């Protein structure tokens, strides 16, 4: 039976399309997504969304209609998920991590190991930076039994892109549930500050300002790696920072900030530090961005998952709506949008075919 998803619900952005196709591919349940990105200034598919659809169609030996820039309706008929090696070139500075968010739910149930070489943006606005993906999101997936290896070969920033990541995914037969309700004591804060094709003092100023801001809140011993890349084949300049805090229960909270022309380096570091401090002060074990990223996996897992998030976002609510529609699960949400919330679900126990 064809599941119909209205792409205009909640924030009405690309996440609804990506998650619909991701869960469709993982479960081999066909979907029709209409009014795609209806609330964006340029509705319909953009190059990065088109790449998601084409990649999943290829990986699942599927069929799809409506695959064109600007299309606001796509029908997707997946079959089984195939392992193997794939090169995915977004062709723009479209986010590599957003593409991976759509690919990974299917790849974890592939017939064999999946190897990806993805070309696009690694550190771009409105998307998780690659270092957040690596140090915050992937450890959470490990708790659910999923092993993903990610190697950053080259950074890519808006507008030129050109970043390169290599990813390997070891498939599983079934996902374990995740339980993150309690926050422990913060034992370590780490991070990566980077600057590409910019003066070396940029990365030092970003990292030092983050360290100073954290120190003013009583957080000592912060370890921030300086990743300075003067050229090394990168297409354009860019800078940013990702910070993460680890507690004694193994929870990881993350925060980030990007540089841009006219934005002082000190502001970039301070912004990321203040975001992380806010996450720590929430007392929750799951940050606002990790919360929405975990929803598809919680819905597919075998058993009851339950998490406490620092902020219930529209992204999280839209991901819940899509998962409920495609998988037939029922989430319980205790909390309101914009505030801390507890999210629970009895997963659909999806298994590798």
Distance CA 81, CA 28 (A): 8
State the distance between the two ends of the chain, measured CA to CA, in whole angstroms: 19
Catalytic residue among 49, 157, 289, 315: 315
Angle formed by the axes of helices 314-327 and 288-300, to 10°?
Answer: 10
d(CA 93, CA 313): 25
Cβ pair 344, 305 in contact under 8 A: yes
Write the CB contacts of 342 (distance below 8 Å, at least 6 apart in sequence).
181, 306, 307, 308, 309, 333, 334, 335
Please indicate whether residue 201 is annotated as part of the active site.
no
Query: What are residue 8's phi and psi, to 5 degrees?
Result: -100, 0
The separation between CA 207 and the C-alpha centre of its own chain, rounded to angstroms, equals 23
Instruction: Fill in the DSSP letter of residue 174.
Output: B
Q: What is the maximum alpha-carbon separation in the chain? A: 58
Give dist(CA 131, CA 139) in Å, integer: 12
The residue assigned the tokens 């606002």 is 288
| Residue given tokens 């390997």 in the structure block | 168
User: Any idea what the Cα angle at residue 33 is, between residues 29 and 36, rounded to 5°?
Assistant: 150
Give the 3-state secondary structure percentages of the chain, helix then strand then coil, rounded to 5.
Answer: 35, 30, 35
d(C-alpha 163, C-alpha 90), whole Å: 10
d(CA 96, CA 104): 12
Q: Catalytic positions, please?
A: 315
């Amino acid at each position: 039976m064809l599941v119909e998803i209205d792409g205009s619900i909640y924030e009405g952005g690309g996440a609804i399309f990506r998650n619909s196709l991701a869960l469709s591919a993982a479960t081999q349940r066909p979907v029709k997504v209409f009014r795609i990105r209806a609330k964006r200034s340029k509705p319909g598919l953009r190059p990065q969304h088109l790449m998601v659809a084409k990649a999943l169609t290829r990986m699942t030996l599927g069929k799809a209609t409506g695959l064109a820039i600007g299309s606001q309706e796509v029908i997707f008929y997946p079959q089984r998920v195939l392992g193997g090696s794939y090169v995915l070139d977004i062709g723009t500075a479209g986010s590599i991590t957003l593409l991976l968010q759509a690919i990974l739910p299917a790849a974890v149930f592939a017939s064999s190991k999946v190897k990806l070489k993805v070309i696009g943006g690694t550190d771009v606005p409105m998307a998780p930076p690659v270092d957040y993906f690596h140090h915050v999101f992937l450890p959470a997936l490990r708790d659910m039994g999923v092993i993903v290896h990610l190697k950053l070969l080259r950074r890519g920033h808006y507008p030129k892109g050109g970043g390169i990541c290599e990813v390997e995914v070891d498939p599983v037969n079934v996902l374990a549930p995740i339980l993150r309700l309690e926050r422990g004591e913060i034992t370590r804060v780490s991070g990566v500050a980077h600057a590409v094709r910019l003066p070396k003092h940029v990365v030092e100023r970003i990292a030092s300002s983050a360290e100073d801001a954290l120190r003013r809140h009583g957080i000592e011993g912060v370890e921030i790696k300086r990743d300075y890349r003067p050229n090394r084949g990168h297409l354009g300049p860019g800078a940013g920072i990702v910070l993460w805090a680890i507690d004694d229960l193994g929870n990881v909270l993350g925060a980030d900030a990007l540089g841009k022309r006219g934005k002082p380096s000190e502001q970039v570091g301070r912004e990321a530090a203040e975001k992380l401090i806010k996450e720590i002060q929430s007392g929750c074990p799951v940050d606002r961005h990790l919360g929405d990223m975990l929803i598809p996996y919680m819905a597919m897992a075998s058993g009851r998952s339950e998490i406490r998030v620092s902020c219930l976002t529209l992204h999280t609510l839209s991901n819940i709506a899509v998962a409920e529609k495609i998988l037939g699960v029922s989430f319980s949400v205790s909390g309101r949008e914009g505030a801390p919330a507890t999210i629970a679900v009895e997963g659909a126990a999806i298994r590798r075919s």
